[in-house]
Amino acid sequence: MQKKTVYVLMPRNSRAWRGAEALWVTAAGWAGAAEQHYGSSWIGTSDTVAKAEDVLHYPLGSTTVVNTDKKGKYPWLPMVFKTLLKDILLKRSQPKEWAIEKDGPWKDETVKMVWEQHDLFPGPGYKIAKKLKVPFVLYVHGPAVWEASKWGVKRPVWGNWLEKNIEAASLKRADLVACVTEEVRQKLIDMGVQEHKTLVSPMSVDNKLFYPGKDVQHLKKELKIEHKTVIGWTGSFRSFHGLDTVVKAFLKIHKNHPDTVLILVGDGSEKEHIERLVHKMELQHVVLFPGRKPFAEIPDYVACFDIALVSAKTAEGFHYSPIKLREYMAAGKAAIAPLAGDLPLQFTEGEQVLFYEAGNEEHLESRLQLLINDVPFRNALGRNANEFVTSSSTWLHELKKVIAKLEANTL
């Protein structure tokens, strides 16, 4: 009897999405869930085929994150033309035949589903699913043109054409389009995806990687944070995270609680700005920047936290599903998150998380004060968070939702 499997496809090469590692973590999460449910899964990129545990170390190659604030190789070229050039090169980078279409051990297994990460230009998922006569699922963090425009990326004329003729066409042919938030779902419907083919499926967590009680004394000793109250954040340093608000709130916290430290794990275009702000406030001895870490090391850093933060500059246009929040919760950490997007609909204030008004330094400070002063409440919040996530919000739960939706749509 052949083993059952799922193809999880990422429509770029194994070195792509540097600085956006959450996309690779997402692929690994869905592949790991498929392996639990069916017994096997394979992750295909344009240049290779891998297993979930391998993809947790993606992207391959240099760990340097490019500072997108700098002018780049061609400072004289207007940004709109750079964007056009990138789009052309992205399209040309796609091979005629993908690695997973070639012979390999994955060919000896019975494919039950093809899952593909949505991108500006689609991968081979639809073609493969049609050939194998299995369901084709697209997973969408945000339609590419629409999401990039929120970040200020301009695609005059060709952007509308791409959205209508490439993105929308790809989305409409999927058997199911799973997306991270309700705002994204409404955008997909506006683009022509049939409502019954959409499903909100937020970013989730692998609770075999993030769990309470992880022994990290070695790391605490290395960071010199033993016997400290640790406030922590993980992610990519981008302007929309509003980390300046976090640092300003921490300044007031540290004055009242000198045993506190703030750890900001990651890299990105805004890191230098935040480091300068920390030095200006003379906090460099209590704000740590460990730098970008392989995802396999992130659970250890989260285990060092007493209080874990999700930050946002504003609630306006917050269409994201922050993967870090469920990672914190699975690890049993008391988490503070912005009152934004779908988060207030998914979690209960004071039971699983604490919310603060995005960008509001004083409100964030008050939330931190509460968790520092009331340790029993902080511990209870972490326990409740862990119980909630492990019982209803892992990647396996999301996979089962997709399977149930596909079955319901065929009735």
Q: Tokens representing 400? A: 């089962």
Sheet arrangement for strand 110-117: 49-50, 42-44, 4-9, 110-117, 136-140, 176-179, 198-200
> Which residue in 18, 45, 19 sits closest to 28, CA to CA?
45
Secondary structure of residue 317 in the 3-state scheme: coil
At residue 72, the pLDDT reads: 55
**Alpha-carbon distance 38 to 51, whole Å?**
14
At residue 225, the pLDDT reads: 97
* Domain ranges across the chain: 4-204+394-410, 217-392
DSSP string, 130-167: HHHT--EEEEESS-HHHHHHHTT---TTHHHHHIIIII
Q: Which amino acid is at 378?
A: R
Between the alpha carbon of residue 230 and those of residues 89, 124, 221, 302, 308, the distances in Å are 44, 45, 13, 10, 8
Secondary structure of residue 234 in the 3-state scheme: strand
Sheet arrangement for strand 354-356: 287-291, 260-267, 229-236, 307-309, 334-338, 354-356
Query: How far out from the chain centre does Cα 275 lie?
Result: 23
Q: What is the pLDDT along the chain (411 residues), one digit of tens a residue?
A: 789 999 999 999 999 998 888 999 999 999 999 999 999 999 999 999 999 999 999 998 855 544 444 455 666 678 899 999 999 999 999 999 999 999 999 999 999 999 999 999 999 999 999 999 999 999 999 999 999 998 889 999 999 999 999 999 999 999 999 999 999 999 999 999 999 999 999 999 999 999 999 999 999 999 999 999 999 999 999 888 999 999 999 999 999 999 999 999 999 989 999 999 999 999 999 999 999 998 999 999 999 999 999 999 988 878 889 999 999 999 999 999 999 999 999 999 999 999 999 999 999 999 999 999 999 999 999 999 999 999 999 999 999 999 999 999 987
> Which residue in 380, 383, 378, 278 sits closest to 330, CA to CA?
383
The CATH architecture to which 4-204+394-410 belongs is: 3-Layer(aba) Sandwich (3.40)
CB 187 within 8 A of CB 167: no
- 4-204+394-410 and 217-392: same fold? yes
Secondary structure of residue 61 in the 3-state scheme: coil
At residue 315, the pLDDT reads: 85
Backbone angles phi, psi at 121, to 5 degrees: -115, 130
CB 336 within 8 A of CB 367: yes
At residue 345, the pLDDT reads: 92
At residue 78, the pLDDT reads: 86
CATH class of 217-392: alpha beta
In the numeric block, the tokens 């996530």 are attached to 389
Residues making up the chain, counted from first to last: 411
Beta bridge mates, 394: 205
Q: Long-range pairs for 400-408 at CB < 8 Å and ≥24 separation?
A: 400/37, 401/199, 401/201, 402/113, 402/137, 402/176, 402/178, 402/199, 402/201, 403/37, 403/113, 405/176, 405/199, 406/113, 406/135, 406/137, 406/175, 406/176
Which distant-in-sequence residues (6+ apart) come within 8 Å of 350 by Cβ? 381
Helices (H), ranges, 75-215: 79-92, 125-132, 144-150, 158-162, 168-172, 182-190
At residue 5, the pLDDT reads: 98
